[in-house]
Amino acid sequence: MTVWLCTGGIMARVRKALKRCVPWAVVAVGLWTCGGEADSPDLDYTGSEGAICQKASTPDGTACDDGDPCTANDLCKLGTCVGKVQDGLPCDDGEPCTFYDSCLAGKCQGEKVGVLFGGKSPDEANAVVAMADGGVAFAGYTQTGTDGWGDLWIVRTDPLGNPLWTRIYGGHFFEAANAMIQQPDGGLVLAGYTNAQEWNVGSDLWIVGLDAKGEQKWKRTYGGPESDHAAAMVRLADGGLAVAGFTESWGAGKGDAWLVRTTFDGKKMWDHPYGGAEYDSARALAAVPGGDIVLAGQTFSSGAGASDGWYAKVDAQGQLLWQKTAGGKNDDLFRAVAVLPDGGLALAGVTRSTGAGEEDAWLVRTDADGEVLWQHDFGSKQNDGALALAVLPTGGFALAGYRDSQLNEGAESWLLRTDDAGAVVADQSYGATETGIYIANAVAVLPKGGFALAGRMQLHGQSQSDALLVLTDSTGKSTCD
């Protein structure tokens, strides 16, 4: 049956025996009239004169729904449902690349930056890896629909960012993934932390192994009585894992950088803390051909400033070979490190000691012994930072993070590309400080040369955040544009 919004209900039928239109019920009298030439699928009889049963208009002013999400107070007028255009109404424009859609000038439209994942509670992506099919997997945490304060969260997508599957793992308190790698068999390993034992008694480093469909194969927990967590992970030449982060349970100071060496399935082989009398932490990790391992992060125990960027090389058994600091009189830290073909390092992070603004993105190049060859800062008079680094197959570097941050009042997610000497080749941002906070926590190079940025987006005035995934072509142009 066809339904008319502003016409009477289906209250009559043609009685073939009478060859005329009659009311189906007494209450329907007046809703049906005979005449006209229109085609009506509700009727099964047409008189010899061409007369049919038609519906009469409902009274003007009757409430209705015209099907347009951008109108309000819809009312019937002369048989037609008419509404008044109203800006700001929530809607869905049907575009997967737009989010927080609302009506503007009678048209449904949304922010067009990337693809959002999440719900009505805070959600965030901290790591991303490129898959062979052109899609990605990203991991972080979700507080949407969980049993606890938040759970470890992983989402697998196709090349367009459409979700293929989602998995959530955790207990009654808080779990999160900060790092992720792909195994040769297509499986994934995630590293982060868990508070699943007791609340307010510290966290433990947590490693979870998944198969190619995201189903859990194994999990391991390591730590002591205080807070311990993982921030970075790398697969080594023998198939085992190195996991780096922070420990308050062991070491020389208030908190130390921590390295845990495991088998391929996360069984611990050894662990070592590194640091001084104050707080020190490892934020990044890289494998050196031959078995050595490089860590990078931040130290409050040594250096020129309040805190400095810290990096160190250890052997295959975790014994310290050397450690160095970089930075100035203010706070500086490294968030990413990569080993280059000549054995030198590329380190990226945030500096408050140099640059145009209070914070600037920072890229440092060293030789194989860790001696600084050059360093560059990038940014504006606002706050800018590099939170992730990728070495490009064609040479040069890609940094991802945030730019034009206005003291947490707004930020754009940022992709900056340089040549081998650190000179800027391309500079792109996604989002707008006027609308919210957009941050890229991780970056991966896609098989066809594009980029995947994963992080967080929070609109002004919203308490919740969503995981943000931006997929680009090789020029850095978002595939959502």
Task: With respect to residue 247, please indicate whether it lies within any of the assigned structural domains.
Answer: yes
Q: Are residues 232 and 329 in the same domain?
A: yes
Task: With respect to residue 287, please indicate whether it lies within any of the assigned structural domains.
Answer: yes
* Structural domain for 42, as ranges: 12-82
Q: Are residues 34 and 165 in the same domain?
A: no
CA distances from 357 to 160, 352, 381, 382, 385 (A): 36, 8, 4, 5, 10
| Structural domains of the chain, count | 2
C-beta neighbour count of 368 within 10 angstroms: 13
Q: Are residues 246 and 351 in the same domain?
A: yes
Of the candidates 463, 465, 457, the one whose C-alpha atom is nearest the C-alpha of residue 123 is 465
Q: Are residues 59 and 152 in the same domain?
A: no
pLDDT of residue 103: 85
Q: Are residues 198 and 341 in the same domain?
A: yes
pLDDT, one tens digit for every residue, the chain (481 residues):
233 346 544 333 333 334 444 443 322 333 333 333 333 334 433 443 343 444 556 788 889 988 889 999 999 988 889 889 888 788 887 776 666 677 888 888 776 677 888 888 899 999 999 999 999 999 999 998 776 688 999 999 999 999 999 999 998 889 999 999 999 999 999 999 998 555 446 799 999 999 999 999 999 999 999 999 999 999 999 999 999 999 999 998 899 999 999 999 999 999 999 999 999 999 999 999 999 999 999 999 999 889 999 999 999 999 999 999 999 999 999 999 999 999 999 999 999 999 988 999 999 999 999 999 999 999 999 999 999 999 999 999 999 999 988 756 789 999 999 999 999 999 999 988 888 899 999 999 999 999 999 999 998 888 889 999 999 999 999 887 6
- Write down which residue in 34, 64, 82 finishes a domain: 82
pLDDT of residue 229: 95
Q: Are residues 257 and 356 in the same domain?
A: yes
Task: With respect to residue 372, please indicate whether it lies within any of the assigned structural domains.
Answer: yes
Give one DSSP letter per residue of 262-284, joined into a string.
E-TT--EEEEEEE--SSBEEEEE
The CATH number that applies at residue 328 is: 2.130.10.10
Q: What is the CA radius of gyration of the chain?
A: 30
Do residues 135 and 452 lie in contact, with contact meaning Cβ atoms separated by under 8 Å? no
Task: With respect to residue 481, please indicate whether it lies within any of the assigned structural domains.
Answer: no
Q: Are residues 133 and 73 in the same domain?
A: no
Q: Are residues 356 and 450 in the same domain?
A: yes
Instruction: List CB contacts of 376: < 8 A, sequence separation 6 or more.
Output: 362, 363, 418, 422
